[in-house]
Amino acid sequence: AIFSTYCEQLGMDPVTALKIATPFGSGIARTAQTCGAVTGALMLIGLKYGKYLPEDNASKEQCFQLAKEFTDRFSEIHGAIACCDLLKSDLSTPEGLQYIKENSLWDKLCPIFIRDAAKLVEELLELD
């Protein structure tokens, strides 16, 4: 949601962004790793500041600095960036996935993570 929402401001069409971002949802394909809102924000940072020339280490460093600032600030707010820690359940297991569904955690918690990731990335990248 985050990547496709802001990608046009950085020169990418939303359909391409949605396709690229698809496997990052639910903690990277339901493996309970990094939250999709976090990876979406990191992809935006890369889209705006990422290195594309081998010798362009300044862009790489700026990108890394902003990515670290984003993840640090998100972690300060929520205590983690990993899905399993944010949802307090491991959605990579059948039991964890069932718990998340039965307790509507995607509906209750994920919008909060998306909102906060959006606010942070808007600040860092000066987006609307």
Note the pLDDT of residue 51.
87
Q: Nearest 10 degrees: CA dihedral of 116, 119, 124, 126?
A: 160
Angstrom distance (rounded) from CA 21 to CA 42: 11
Angstrom distance (rounded) from CA 21 to CA 100: 22
Q: Which of 17, 19, 89 is nearest to 46 (CA)?
A: 17
Q: What are the sequence ranges of the domains in the chain? A: 2-125
Note the pLDDT of residue 127.
84
Angstrom distance (rounded) from CA 86 to CA 83: 5
* Residue 37 in this model has a pLDDT that exceeds 90: yes
* Residue 128 in this model has a pLDDT that exceeds 80: no
Question: Cα 122 from chain centroid?
Answer: 13
Lowest mean per-residue pLDDT among 50-54, 105-109, 121-125: 50-54
Note the pLDDT of residue 123.
96
* Residue 27 in this model has a pLDDT that exceeds 90: yes
* Residue 125 in this model has a pLDDT that exceeds 90: yes
Q: Is 33 helix (H, G, I), strand (E, B) or coil?
A: coil
Mean per-residue pLDDT over the chain, rounded: 95
Q: Tell me what percent of the residues of the chain surpass a pLDDT of 90.
A: 93
pTM of the entire structure? 0.93
pLDDT tens profile 50-105: 988 889 899 999 999 999 999 999 999 999 999 999 999 999 999 999 999 999 99
Q: Which of 63, 64, 58, 1 is nearest to 35 (CA)?
A: 1
